[in-house]
Chains A and B, each alone.
Chain A
Amino acid sequence: AQSVTQLDSHVSVSEGTPVLLRCNYSSSYSPSLFWYVQHPNKGLQLLLKYTSAATLVKGINGFEAEFKKSETSFHLTKPSAHMSDAAEYFCVVSDRGRNAGNMLTFGGGTRLMVKP
C-alpha cells in the first residue's frame, strides 16, 4: 500500500524568503512522486514529477524537489517566494508496481501563505 504524509498543514513565509514544503511517503514498490498546486477555486496543476531519473527534479515557477529514498522524502523547495505562490500544494505518490491503472494517492495538502 502507498501513503503520503505532508508534515505541515499550513506554512507562512515572507515574500522573497525560501519555501520548504515537507512530504514523506511510503510505497511497496518503486514510486513515482509528484507535486501539484491548487490556487483558490481552481483545478490542480502539475508542478513537477519524479519517475526514477535524476533525484533532483526541477519544475515550473522556480520550484524543485529532491527524492531521498533513504529518508522516504520528497520535499518541495523554492529559493525565493512570490506572492503568486500562495496556494495549496499536494504531494502525490504512484506505485509503479501496481497493475490497476495509474492511481495516485494524495497527501492532505499544505496551504502556503506569503506575506508581503
Chain B
Amino acid sequence: NAGVTQTPKFQVLKTGQSMTLQCAQDMNHNSMYWYRQDPGMGLRLIYYSASEGTTDKGEVPNGYNVSRLNKREFSLRLESAAPSQTSVYFCASSERRNYGYTFGSGTRLTVV
C-alpha cells in the first residue's frame, strides 16, 4: 500500500548511544517532516525538508540531525541519546502546501 514507512517501530537505547530512524514515502511528495509526540503536547516539529536537497530546523531540533537522502527518504539521527528524547516519533510527507500530511505509524523510542 502507498504511504509512509518508518523503521524501526520500537527501540530501547542506553543514554549516550546513537541511532538513526528511517522514513520512506512512495507518493512522490516533495516535503517531508519529523515530529515527536509527548503526552499533552500534541506533535512538535523537529526538522523538515521542503524539497529534495533542503532541510530546516523546526520547533525542537536540539539533539537531532537529519538527512534527505533522496526524494523518497528522510532520516532522523540521534547522535547521543538522552532520556529527554524518550518519545514517539512520526515521519510525515505532503504533496504541497495546505494538503495536509500523510503520517507513518510511528517509532516508539525509550532512552534509559
Contacts and interface: CB of A to CB of B under 8 A. Distances in A.
Give the contact-size bracket for chain B.
Answer: 20 to 34
Interface residues of A, number: 24
Interface in A75-106: 90, 94, 96, 100-104, 106
Contacts, number: 66
A8 B35 CA distance: 22
B56 A101 contact: yes
Contacts of B94: 102
Given A42-B106, A106-B42, 4 more contacts: A100-B56, A101-B97, A102-B99, A104-B45
A101 B103 contact: no
A103 B43 CA distance: 12
A64 B4 CA distance: 26
Given A9-B40, A94-B97, A104-B101, A44 B90 contact: yes
B50 A106 contact: no
A46 B92 CA distance: 12
Given A43-B90, A103-B58, A108 B98 contact: no
